[in-house]
Each structure stands twice: as C-alpha cells, then as structure tokens.
Amino acid sequence: MVAMGISSAATIRVSHAVGRRDIQGTRRAGFSAAALCALFMASAGLVFVLFRYLLPAFYVEDKTVIDMTAALLIIVAFFQVSDGTQAVGIGILRGMTDMKVPTLITLVAYWVMGLPSGYILAFGFDLGIFGVWYGLFISLTASGLFMMMRFHAKSKKAVFQP
C-alpha cells in the first residue's frame, strides 16, 4: 500500500511538472518517487528476511509450513524493490498521460515473461512453488525495469513541446 501511495503522489507531481513544461522537475519527481519507494520496499524486504521464521508462526504451527514459508520469504524480499518500482513506474507514466505502452509492458512482463518462466521453472526444472515465485520475480523485475526505461526516455522528449 505504501508503494501505491507513493505512486499516486508521483502521478500528481509528475503531471504538474509536465503541465509546467518542466523537464527537470518531471524527471526529479519521477526518479525521486522511484528511489523513495525502492528504499521503503528494500526495508520491507529486510524485515521479511530478518523475521522469516517469526512471521509465518503467527499463522501456522506446522514446522514444515513455517520452513517453506521462510524460504519463500527470501524470494519475496528480493522482489519487493521490483514490485515497488513497477508500481511507481505506472504512476509516473500515468502522470505523463502514457497509458497504452505501460499496459503493453505489464502484459508482456506478466503473460509473456513471468507466467511461462514460472511454469518452466516450476515444472521443467522441478522447482515447484519456488519456480512459480521466481517467475513472479522475473515479471515484476521486467515490468519495473521497462517502466523506468520508458520514463527515462519519454521524460527527455517532445512531450513538453507546445
């Protein structure tokens, strides 16, 4: 929810800078939101790593489930930054009235990259549930990376021309 809040604020800040035709302000608003979100999400990931055995114990008592959950929380910790980056990336691009390409980016990242890779890792490489979560990590990372690349390229261009 913090990432979504930062994303919403970034949408507003970026759109105001675009309206002023302020290239530096647009880039500063977008990249600072992405950095703030990445920092917060990395902190959340650290909490998942440090308390990976305690957190599942709040919900279950079965040692096997706790051990598996603790291992999965390591993967979850790593994709926190990617998840936050893609959430903010959508917001900053929305602030530039860019909606079609981010929709295609998420389509490709999840359905073309993430889902097949998760399936292949889970069943082809026999990683089971871990393969599925690695697939999600791949899709979130691809989405975040492509969103930020799109913002980087688009925020330097003619969108500011009358």
Q: What percent of the chain has pLDDT over 90?
A: 96
Indicate whether 94 pLDDT > 60: yes
Q: Which two tokens stand for residue 155?
A: 């925020």
pLDDT over 80 (residue 70): yes
Amino acid occupying residue 99: M
Q: SS3 for 1?
A: coil
> What is the structure's pLDDT at 157?
79
Residue with token string 């261009």: 157
- Contact between 23 and 96 under an 8 Å Cβ cutoff? The reply is no
**Average pLDDT taken over every residue of the chain:** 95
User: Whole-angstrom Cα distance, residue 37 to residue 42?
Assistant: 8
- Angstrom distance (rounded) from CA 158 to CA 41: 32
- The residue assigned the tokens 């929380």 is 73
> Which range marks the domain in which residue 63 is found?
2-160
Q: Which of 127, 144, 109 is nearest to 71 (CA)?
A: 127
Number of independent structural domains in the chain: 1
Q: Percent of the chain scored above 70 by pLDDT?
A: 97
SS (H, E, C) 47-75: HHHHCCCHHHHCCCCCHHHHHHHHHHHHH
| Residue 161 pLDDT grade (very low, low, confident, very high; cuts 50, 70, 90) | low
Region 42-48: what's the mean pLDDT? 98
